[in-house]
Chains A and B, each alone.
Chain A
Amino acid sequence: GQQVMQIPQYQHVQEGEDFTTYCNSSTTLSNIQWYKQRPGGHPVFLIQLVKSGEVKKQKRLTFQFGEAKKNSSLHITATQTTDVGTYFCAPPSGYALNFGKGTSLLVTP
């Protein structure tokens, strides 16, 4: 399936700082999903982006889909300890999802 690169692989922030993770593809994507996995947990769906240039917000989380539909980002404003976990982007690949390697976020109080 198509490959997506997620950067950074790890991010350690102080509580209250902002955080951004990027997902880049070499090919145009029809859509992209984002998931969050808490330590020891399972991936949980956050959002799906479909339209070019789309921006969606969920409280302190802002998701963007690039104009060319080759990249996406997740920005968290004023991180909290509850934001700890690994964030995955997942574009479609045939009938399944092709998960990036994820960005692990650690938030210290």
Chain B
Amino acid sequence: NAGVTQTPKFRVLKTGQSMTLLCAQDMNHEYMYWYRQDPGMGLRLIHYSVGEGTTAKGEVPDGYNVSRLKKQNFLLGLESAAPSQTSVYFCASSYSNSPNTEAFFGQGTRLTVV
């Protein structure tokens, strides 16, 4: 059972480049989330989804877009990367019956924008 899988694990981008981070979960979870983690800042919510075809903004959505075309996948896109988006990105998912149940996290994607 893979749980939550993020790809890629590491990436270096030049300022202005675009990329997509992929999150896949095999637990049939309805809720999926993208967080970023910066030193001393904890985990901050970027976007989230409460089901296939739905997305919503979190605390720090600017500069990011997301899509949830399939229930098991949640994509995070950076259209024009900036150095301020250098961070570790975590995807998470949780069960559908109650929104505030245990969240399962992926291994993270370490992104550096130069």
Contacts and interface: CB of A to CB of B under 8 A. Distances in A.
B62 interface: no
Contacts of A44: 105
Contacts of B41: 101
A25 interface: no
Interface in A50-109: 88, 90, 92-102
A101 B33 CA distance: 18
B50 interface: yes
A95 B99 contact: yes
A33 interface: yes
Contacts of B13: none
Nearest to A48: B102
A96 B104 CA distance: 12
Interface residues of B, number: 26
B105 A96 contact: no
A30 interface: yes
A98 B45 contact: yes
Contacts of B103: 33, 35, 43, 45, 90, 97
Given A42-B105, A42-B108, A44-B105, A95 B42 contact: no
Residues of A in contact with B, size category = 20 to 34
B100 to A, nearest CB: 4
B35 to A, nearest CB: 8
B48 A96 contact: yes
A1 B59 contact: yes
A31 interface: yes
Contact of B100 (A43, A88, A97, A99): A97
Interface of A: 1, 9, 30-31, 33, 35, 41-45, 48, 88, 90, 92-102
15 contacts: A31-B100, A41-B107, A42-B105, A43-B90, A45-B103, A48-B100, A92-B99, A93-B45, A94-B99, A96-B48, A97-B45, A97-B100, A100-B42, A101-B42, A102-B42
